[in-house]
Homo-oligomer: A and B are copies of this chain.
Amino acid sequence: MSVYLVGAGPGDPGLITVRGLSLLRECDVVLYDRLVAPELVQQAPLRAVRIPRGSLSQEQINELLIGHGRAGFRVVRLKGGDPFVFGRGGEEALALADAGVPFEVVPGVSSLSAVPAAVDIPVTHRGIAAAVTAVAAHEPDRLDYPALARAPGTLVFFMGLAGLDRLAAGLIAAGKAAATPAAVVSSGTLPDQELVVGDLTEIAALATALEPPSLLVVGEVVRIAGRLGAAALRRVAMAA
């Protein structure tokens, strides 16, 4: 019996790992997040039990993983991005460990760099950014803006769309230059991907029409996209 916490990648089904897809194709049970590509869920065997996360609580998910694992099934927990980058993989792993159910974490391509890459932004670049900080921004009023404004390199905010105005204002108030370039990417790596680019003072107003999931990138690396755009091949979400 074992449970596999598998990262499905940032959206494009071709960005799952070879190991993750192999486990998915041999599983008995797959429990998958809302943002996981349907093309990936279809890769599970016909006989496999498919459980959408839907409105399940984290506690209920943990219980399902433990229960199906103990029953001797090969369980794949398919999560968007990487299980350990804002994926709550650690909580599921701890629940399994406490229950004595063997598990394996199969990392995935995180949105952290893959979503900026999809709009030609490298999150690190020699001479421009030798560091990158990824931040969970679903509670923008609880962020440590003085620390973030001073962080070296690029800032990448996950789940910050709803509070984007407060987030940008918080960074500026803490000393981040108002002219710092920023980009918001919605549905990165997917066919309905959208991008807006502006400085910190205007980015929230520019992004009002965008829908989650989104990623905010703040830093000088955003300017590189303008130099790459013409030659970069656009490719989004072909089947795995």
Contact = CB atoms under 8 A, between A and B. Distances in A.
Report how many copies the assembly holds: 2
Contacts of A120: 93, 105
Given A97-B230, A107-B113, A232-B104, A14 B10 contact: no
Contacts of A13: 18
A41 to B, nearest CB: 15
Contacts of A9: 17
Interface in A1-25: 2, 7, 9-10, 12-19, 21-22
A134 interface: yes
Given A17-B15, A90-B125, A232 B85 contact: no
B130 A135 contact: yes
Contacts of A16: 17-18
Contacts of A112: 85, 110, 112
Count class of interface residues, chain A: 35 or more
A45 interface: no
A205 interface: no
Given A12-B19, A104-B235, A227 B132 contact: no
Interface of A: 2, 7, 9-10, 12-19, 21-22, 82-91, 93-94, 96-98, 100-110, 112-114, 116-117, 120-126, 130-136, 143-144, 146-148, 150-153, 221, 224, 227-228, 230-233, 235, 238, 240
14 contacts: A10-B107, A14-B17, A17-B18, A82-B117, A84-B121, A86-B124, A91-B126, A94-B227, A97-B231, A105-B232, A107-B117, A130-B135, A143-B152, A147-B151
